[in-house]
Amino acid sequence: MAKPLPAQQLVEIKEIRDGVLVLKDGTLRVVMIASSLNFALKSQDEQDAIILQYQNYLNSLDFSVESFVQSRQLNIEPYIETLRERLTREYNELMKIQISEYIEFVKSFVESANIMTHNFYVVVPFTPARMLEKETMRRGILSFLPNMSGRQKKLEKDIEQQGVRQTQFEEYKVQLYQRVEVVRQGLARIGVRLVPLNTEELIELFYGLYNPGELEKGKMPEVMA
């Protein structure tokens, strides 16, 4: 029977450094949480203006951008725990009864209503020039030659084992954040605000994606519309 692969081998992320995802192939990603926009509540003129600005934003991009939504059932345990702590410090019997009843009411309401939280994210990628050259070589007419193939495999192996050197990382990060600003400014024109996730928030995000049943809802950066 084949031995199951460790979970780390199935994840394309090599490391998270200074709020930037470094993938095993040497490419970089920045993940930003986005504010929501209720398009249906806008007037017809506002909707037309939003569509036009969004078209302009898409046409201004010369790189790919990914958007995704994370939906989770509302976790009220941190709030309930705060109420329980308050209950232990309360000496007024009437207040203790009211707090206890309120705790049960909130738990019952959330369970019956099945309230969901939705977080919206935008991912901006960056591929270093050497990776683009490698991809061109792989697809080129000489890619079948042994020396070319060997060099390519060595480059991929070196990247996976050693990662991106700090000097290279700082250079790539500057170029990556130039793209981030293009995306932020473009979406700001339609009223969507973006905040890059830091290292701790990225770890929480991906832990929740791969362990949805164990996720404890943490504090995410506030995005003001």
Instruction: Give the model confidence (pLDDT) of 105-125 as tens digits.
Output: 988 888 787 778 889 999 999
Q: Is residue 196 included in any domain, yes or no?
A: yes
pLDDT of residue 207 exceeding 60, the answer is yes
97 and 170 together in one domain: no
- Give 24-60 pLDDT, tens digit per residue: 888 999 999 999 989 999 999 999 999 999 999 999 9
pLDDT of residue 147 exceeding 60, the answer is no
Contact residues for 74 (Cβ-Cβ < 8 A; gap 6+): 110, 115, 116, 117, 217
Average pLDDT over residues 88-101: 90
Best-predicted range by mean pLDDT (124-138, 161-175, 176-190) = 176-190
123 and 198 together in one domain: yes
pLDDT averaged over the chain? 81
Q: Is residue 47 included in any domain, yes or no?
A: yes
State how many domains the chain has. 3
Percent of the chain with pLDDT over 90: 45
123 and 105 together in one domain: no
Q: Is residue 100 included in any domain, yes or no?
A: yes
Q: Is residue 1 included in any domain, yes or no?
A: no
Contact residues for 14 (Cβ-Cβ < 8 A; gap 6+): 22, 23, 24, 160, 163
Tell me the residue range of the domain where 92 lies.
75-114
Contact residues for 195 (Cβ-Cβ < 8 A; gap 6+): 32, 33, 221, 222, 223
62 and 158 together in one domain: no
